[in-house]
Structure 1
């Protein structure tokens, strides 16, 4: 458990330290993610972490919180609106500190949970190890919005493998959530890690293959890039069908961003 929690902590600390350097005006900049502001992005991460922290404290507490969220959704409002109502009138810098404090508490709670424990969530329960990895994935994915607006190249490390593995494991989920039959065989995936290591998943087969950068594969499965905006080499009908709907996060079917709509700006947008 410790190694996965360490990766999660590092992911959060990198985003926190990046945001600490930004002026308050940056918080109201609209990102390429659904026109959410930077404030909305961090607020969403904060509330998601808060929900994870709540379920780590016990099923009853999570059930109460989940019930409130579901009533909100039934009234036609989404997570962006819920987070805004939940947090109220709080400045970006104050929100950053609030998120960071709860993020660290969440990590401590995961560390103190039995490694084989399962935690309640929307949909199926999740093992605490998977929960920690899922939080790393979402922190990394939403961090991409920030890096893009600041015109920064992200320096990834091999901890990104946690996200890649989720991406590979959700092959069947992607088809199911889109109401499509799951192909009998998953494509062969061969990726180059940030360190230069080669990560292979499966064996060459008739379902095709996906080859290239592990970071770009993670961007596609987290829907921070369209497959057309990457250098990934995709061959075979099944592989192409998968990459067209790839989604490694829970919830209903989401469409990837359209080609050319998620990219790193040439100059910082502040």
Structure 2
């Protein structure tokens, strides 16, 4: 499911970018970084999907009713929607109006229609669509605002949202195949998206967002990524991998190593999501999960 957050100040999450760069330069550099990482994430999933047998394409994934083919078809569907948003605003707004009454039904239909194609045709569609989208995003003004699901996004956030989706649905594919994917530095983009969508998670449940938290996550190679005021009373700490699984609702809170200090911080870990649309039931705890549980996004 597409993300629902705007991130005009996303550049603040990347203090290691050259300090002498002007803000506009920051955004251009960040956009290219995000798109490079999006391409790498796509290629990693492609390497996995491209070697599958016909039977493996039909394996069930953690998303109820979705096979491996549905997962790849959904990514292709979202890339098509993103390209439309970038190239034809009026057509995209008309598309939004057509799906507004029941977006999940349209998402499921798009996945089912794509999954009905042969694996070769589906892979070809995904590869072609994502290639055109990437090349188009590289050419447009990095500061552009685009209509999107939920609310308008800037280009950097759209690229980050695509990366998040590829990673999350790639996890579903890997789960179906019994494959463990190693975490990479690309998790930083997804983790930041989770931090930026914190208030949205509270709003969706009719709750008033509390004061900002301090979030400190350990990434690959002993990296530490932090967001929020250092003096904040409420905090979340743990691994970036668990945090990213949680905010994409690919893991139950009880199965993470995340630590929350403060009641609101703990509540957030039970409701966090970095995508638009209804949260769904999420994954059940492993103690009650015989194989797969429900997920959304």
Task: Give the Cα–Cα distance (whole angstroms) in 2 for the partners of residues 2 and 246 of structure 1.
Answer: 28
1:268 aligned residue: none
1:67 aligned residue: 97
Any stretches of 5+ residues in structure 1 without a counterpart? 266-270
What are the superposed Cα offsets for residues 90-141 of structure 1, whole Å, 9 maximum, x if unpaired? 1123211211110111111111110010111122110011100010011101
4+ long deviations beyond 6 Å: 261-265
CA contact (8 A) 1:148 1:264 kept: no
Give me the TM-score of the superposition, normalised by structure 2.
0.81
What are the superposed Cα offsets for residues 188-225 of structure 1, whole Å, 9 maximum, x if unpaired? 21111112111122225332x22111111111011111
How many equivalent residue pairs?
Answer: 260
What are the superposed Cα offsets for residues 159-209 of structure 1, whole Å, 9 maximum, x if unpaired? 2100000111111111001111211x23321111112111122225332x2
1:105 aligned residue: 132
Question: In terms of mean alpha carbon deviation, does 26-35 or 242-251 score higher?
Answer: 26-35
Give me the TM-score of the superposition, normalised by structure 1.
0.89
Q: 1:246 aligns with which of 255, 262, 272?
A: 272
The structure whose RCO (Cα within 8 Å, separation 6+) is larger is 2
Report matched runs for 1:33-112 at 5 Å.
33-70=63-100, 73=102, 77-85=105-113, 87=114, 89-112=116-139
1:232 aligned residue: 258
CA contact (8 A) 1:246 1:256 kept: no
Give the C-alpha shift of residue 249 in structure 1.
0.8
Matched, 1:213 2:222: no
Task: Give the Cα–Cα distance (whole angstroms) in 2 for the partners of residues 145 and 232 of structure 1.
Answer: 21
Give the C-alpha shift of residue 263 in structure 1.
9.6
Question: In terms of mean alpha carbon deviation, does 224-233 or 161-170 score higher?
Answer: 224-233
Any stretches of 5+ residues in structure 2 without a counterpart? 1-30, 293-297
Superposition CA RMSD, Å: 2.1
Matched, 1:9 2:27: no
